[in-house]
């Protein structure tokens, strides 16, 4: 059993499982949307002194921060008890494209060229991790949601704003992938 679930999961099973997570939260009286946690973290750290955007009772969202703590634990469990040794089985075309940028074929889940701790002071890391993280935090709050809040919860509820947001996600992602990455590496 453990050996079976330790293999990478197929897309259809993964998609079903994500829908289950969303409906568990819905039946708990909450909603599935992750990026608000960055706002709660700002509010919990005293952000109200700087902007009334952070002046609210963040403690009433402690369920969301508990969910966040769980996700860290889930990653830890997956890496310690449910691992398969192989690198991510991405397509040959992607391996070729990334090779041109100097990124070697996967040997794990994340490329050492971007997330290796010995690379912390290199330009690609500073741009991709430091700037990339900033844009994620800024953009999700401006858009009012991320992949979970807009692409999954919002589209499931047939919200036009969420469709516009998802189109934005892809405009940005395509610009980074095809125009910026060749400049960064």
Q: Rule CB under 8 A: which of 121-150 touch another protein?
A: 125, 127-148, 150
By CB under 8 A, is residue 182 in contact with another protein? no
Q: Does 167 bind another protein (CB under 8 A)?
A: yes
Distance from C-alpha of 130 to C-alpha of 147, rounded to nearest angstrom: 20
- Nearest approach in angstroms of CB 85 to another protein is 14
d(CA 83, CA 3): 9
Q: Tell whether residue 56 is a contact of another protein (CB under 8 A).
A: no
* Binding flag, residue 111, another protein (CB under 8 A): yes
Q: Does 86 bind another protein (CB under 8 A)?
A: no
Judged by CB under 8 A, which of 1, 2, 11, 57 binds another protein?
Answer: 11
Beta carbon of residue 165, minimum distance to another protein (angstroms, whole number): 4
Q: How far apart are CA 19 and CA 156, in angstroms?
A: 10
Region for 19 from its dihedrals, namely left if φ exceeds 0, alpha if ψ lies in -120 to 50, beta otherwise: alpha
| C-alpha pair distances (Å), 76 with each of 68, 69, 80, 183 | 13, 11, 6, 34
């Amino acid at each position: 059993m453990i050996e079976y679930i330790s293999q990478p999961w197929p897309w259809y099973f993964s998609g079903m499982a994500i829908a289950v997570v969303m409906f568990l939260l819905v039946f708990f009286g909450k909603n599935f949307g992750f990026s608000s946690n960055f706002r709660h973290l700002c509010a919990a750290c005293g952000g109200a002194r700087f902007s009334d955007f952070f002046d609210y009772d963040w403690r009433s969202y402690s369920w969301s921060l508990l969910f966040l703590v769980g996700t860290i634990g889930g990653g830890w469990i997956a890496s310690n008890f449910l691992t398969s040794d192989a690198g991510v089985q991405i397509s040959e075309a992607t391996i070729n494209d990334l090779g041109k940028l100097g990124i070697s074929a996967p040997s794990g889940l994340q490329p050492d060229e971007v997330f290796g701790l010995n690379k912390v002071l290199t330009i690609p890391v500073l741009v991709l991790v430091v700037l990339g993280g900033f844009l994620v935090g800024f953009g999700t709050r401006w858009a009012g949601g991320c992949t979970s809040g807009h692409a999954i919860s919002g589209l499931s509820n047939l919200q036009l704003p969420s469709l516009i947001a998802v189109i934005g996600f892809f405009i940005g992602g395509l610009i980074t992938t095809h125009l910026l990455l060749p400049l960064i590496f």
